[in-house]
């Protein structure tokens, strides 16, 4: 029987690898998801075949309850809430890893060898810090707690001390061996605390990086569980997940010009000093949507830049309607997608896909930037930092060096924004004061609707 | 577990990590969100550990904790695969 189980595990691992491979292209991506699902189903079946497993009733109850919570979470969540759902899901997965590790310790702690104790402790540390970190990320994304970075003096020292102290306790536990329920409990508490300290100082704009890094931690935790249980399938699946989270967070860091170590130690997203005396005296032009609609009469090429403001206002469907109206007038419409627009890597692509915008109209930053000089109108829908030319021009700006969409090079910029307030990075956008920019103040959905009606009646 | 078990496991870990890096590097940015919900679902492979814990459990407290772990990781698995499919269904090319 053991051999059959191992063969099924190998098949399951192969399916997970295929799953990621197929996921790299739209054409095969649905196959990718099915392969992943099949891999998971095989893994469950093989585990249940183990002769030492007999408590089927509680297993069934657990799976049924889990599925009946997970299904509505997946089917009913609006696409704007996908980042929250992912964060919450990470929290659940990590909690399971933490519980399994802790239970193993209390069951067999005294019989475990030194390397087994090491991986057990790392699994528990990663599991529980990902649990609280993800819950906190969920709270921030859902705006239960403020999305602004929450900072306190000496926070790096506090986080590092908590981390160092838990490593010290782990080292003590491993070297001494034997049963230390109190010390182990303390390690669990410190891990939970460390997760909170890690995410607390991170702001809304850095959420794409945070979600990716939590993904990596959750995967690594599963992988270490695999070392503990001597189960290669867990090691493989966890490592695949870990490296995927790692790669995505590195890509997100590059897209924001942040150092990766900064994110690892949770130092990202500091509130930057808002000292901007230059703002006074600068002129901001603003029009009503009705007045601005006339501009589209002469336009041939339009680029729309979606940002978190579009997501927050659920305006993606109006954006799609506007696109249709413009295209009916033979205006070419493209979408410029910045890698960190939104709250999750690729979030804007999903929102626009939900509104039925074909994906071949979505153009990535590198390809769209050379096209801006010949663009008649750029319509920015609630995106701020990713369009700020200070990132290119002003070495004193905190955004300096961050790759941005070169919206300022277009012939005319229409900027939809609720107010003159700053973006997540807390700095003013030079673009507002450009002679080519016209501000359209208001909720993205409302402004776009009015724009749509006016263009139709022109 | 013998030393050679550990070494084999470490080999597996290193190879799988590099394989993962190579596979993900090629993923189009368009698909980053579904990719993340997919890998999120795959990370619920820790379900295997939870199943073993509950299934082998003799003591009540182990079964209770194991069942909680099963609930948590199956929320992760079911939710992750379902939402990934929901997202992927929406991607359409222009006619």
Chain B nearest-CA distance from A123, in A, is 11
Could you state, in order of their start, the residue ranges of all structural domains in chain B? 28-91
Instruction: Kindly indicate the confidence band of residue A223, based on its pLDDT and cuts at 50, 70 and 90.
Output: very high
**pLDDT tens-place string over residues B44-60:** 999 999 999 999 888 99
CB count, 10 Å around CB of B22?
13
Least confident of A112-116, A196-200, A205-209: A205-209
**Helices and strands (DSSP H and E) totals, chain B:** 4, 0
What is the structure's pLDDT at A270? 47
The number of residues making up chain A comes to 458
Question: Which of the listed ranges A257-261, A318-322, A424-428 does the model predict with the highest average pLDDT?
Answer: A318-322
d(CA A368, CA A3): 54
What is the structure's pLDDT at A271? 45
Instruction: State percent of chain A over pLDDT 90.
Output: 67
What is the structure's pLDDT at A343? 87
Q: Is the pLDDT of residue B37 over 80?
A: yes
Q: What residues contact A339, with CB distance under 8 A and at least 6 apart?
A: A208, A251, A252, A255, A345, A364, A365, B29
**pLDDT tens-place string over residues A402-452:** 899 999 999 999 999 887 766 555 667 888 888 999 999 999 999 999 999
What is the structure's pLDDT at A204? 72
d(CA A401, CA A388): 11
> What DSSP string runs through A327-370?
HHTT-EEEEEE-TTSSSSTTHHHHHHHHTT--GGGEEEHHHHGG
**What ipTM was reported for this prediction?**
0.96
| CATH of the domain spanning A289-457 | 3.40.50.1220
Identify the H or E element spanning A30: helix A26-48
What is the structure's pLDDT at A109? 83
A206 is catalytic: no
B 6-65 residues inside an 8 A Cβ radius of A: 6, 8-9, 12-13, 16-21, 23-57, 62-63, 65
What is the structure's pLDDT at A76? 93
First to last CA, chain A: 75
Residue of B nearest to A57 (CA): B55
Q: For the residues A208-213, what does the mean pLDDT come to?
A: 90
Q: Is the pLDDT of residue A45 over 50?
A: yes
A 36-65 residues inside an 8 A Cβ radius of B: 36-37, 39-40, 43-44, 47-48, 50, 52-56, 58-59, 61-63, 65
- Who has greater pLDDT, A226 or A200? A226
Q: For the residues B9-13, what does the mean pLDDT come to?
A: 96
Give contacts of A53 with chain B, Cβ < 8 Å.
51-52, 55-56
Residue of A nearest to B84 (CA): A33
Q: Is the pLDDT of residue A269 over 60?
A: no
Residues of chain A with CATH 3.40.50.1220: 289-457
d(CA A364, CA A284): 29
Give contacts of B82 with chain A, Cβ < 8 Å.
70-71, 74-75
Q: Is the pLDDT of residue A275 over 70?
A: no
Q: For the residues A356-362, what does the mean pLDDT come to?
A: 93
Q: Is the pLDDT of residue A172 over 50?
A: yes
A 10-29 residues inside an 8 A Cβ radius of B: 16-17, 19-21, 23-26, 29
Q: For the residues A389-408, what does the mean pLDDT come to?
A: 87
Instruction: Give the mutation candidate from B15, B18, B19, B75 for the A interface (greatest A CB count, under 10 A).
Output: B75
Give contacts of A231 with chain B, Cβ < 8 Å.
48-49
Q: For the residues A124-141, what does the mean pLDDT come to?
A: 95
What is the structure's pLDDT at B18? 96
Set A356, A360, A376, A385: catalytic member: A385
Say whether residue B4 is in contact with chain A using an 8 A CB cutoff.
no
């Amino acid at each position: 029987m053991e051999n059959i189980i191992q063969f099924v595990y190998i098949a399951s691992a192969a399916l997970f690898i295929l799953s990621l491979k197929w996921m790299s292209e739209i054409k095969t991506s649905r196959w990718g998801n099915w392969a992943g699902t099949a891999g998971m189903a095989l893994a469950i079946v093989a585990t249940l075949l183990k002769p030492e497993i007999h408590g089927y009733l509680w297993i069934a109850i657990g799976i049924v309850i889990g599925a009946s919570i997970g299904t509505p979470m997946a089917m009913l969540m609006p696409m704007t809430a996908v980042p929250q759902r992912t964060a919450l899901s990470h929290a659940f997965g990590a909690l399971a890893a933490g519980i399994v590790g802790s239970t193993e310790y209390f069951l067999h702690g005294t019989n475990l060898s030194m390397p087994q104790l090491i991986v057990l402790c790392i699994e528990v540390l990663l599991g529980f810090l990902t649990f609280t970190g993800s819950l906190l990320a969920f709270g921030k994304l859902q705006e239960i707690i403020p999305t602004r970075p929450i900072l306190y003096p000496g926070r790096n020292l506090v986080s590092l001390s908590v981390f160092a102290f838990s490593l010290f306790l782990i080292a003590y536990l491993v070297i001494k061996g034997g049963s230390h329920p109190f010390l182990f409990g303390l390690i669990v508490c410190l891990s939970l605390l460390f997760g909170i300290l890690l995410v607390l100082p991170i702001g809304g704009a850095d959420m794409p990086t945070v979600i990716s890094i939590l993904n990596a931690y959750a995967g690594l935790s599963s992988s270490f569980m695999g070392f503990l249980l001597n189960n290669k399938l867990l090691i493989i699946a966890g490592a695949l997940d870990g490296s995927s989270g790692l790669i995505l967070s590195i890509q997100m860091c590059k897209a924001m010009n942040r150092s990766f170590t900064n994110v690892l130690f949770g130092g990202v997203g500091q509130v930057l000093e808002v000292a901007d005396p230059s703002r006074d005296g600068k002129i901001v032009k603003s029009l009503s949507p009705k007045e601005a609609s006339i501009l589209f009469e002469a336009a041939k090429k339009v680029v729309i830049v979606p940002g978190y403001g579009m997501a927050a206002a659920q305006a993606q469907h109006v954006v799609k309607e506007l696109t249709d109206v413009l295209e009916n007038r033979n205006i070419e419409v493209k979408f410029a997608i910045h890698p960190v627009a939104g709250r999750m890597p690729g979030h804007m692509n999903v929102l626009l896909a939900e509104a039925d915008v074909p994906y071949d109209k979505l153009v990535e930053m590198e390809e769209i930037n050379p096209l801006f000089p010949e663009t008649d109108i750029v319509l920015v829908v609630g995106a701020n930092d990713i369009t700020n030319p200070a990132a290119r021009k002003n070495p004193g700006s905190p955004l300096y060096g961050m790759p941005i969409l070169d919206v300022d090079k277009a012939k005319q910029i229409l900027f939809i924004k609720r107010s003159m307030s700053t973006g997540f990075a807390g700095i003013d956008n030079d673009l507002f004061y450009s002679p080519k920019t016209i501000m359209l103040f208001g909720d993205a959905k409302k402004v776009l609707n009015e724009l749509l009606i006016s263009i139709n009646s022109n | 577990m013998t030393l050679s078990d550990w070494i084999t496991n470490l080999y597996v870990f290193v190879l799988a990590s590099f394989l993962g890096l190579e596979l993900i590097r090629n993923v189009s940015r368009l698909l980053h969100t579904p990719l993340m919900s997919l890998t999120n679902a795959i990370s619920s492979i820790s379900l295997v550990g939870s199943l073993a814990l509950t299934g082998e459990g003799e003591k009540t407290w182990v079964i209770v904790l194991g069942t909680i772990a099963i609930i948590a990781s199956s929320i992760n698995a079911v939710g992750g695969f379902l939402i990934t499919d929901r997202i992927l269904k929406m991607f359409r090319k222009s006619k």
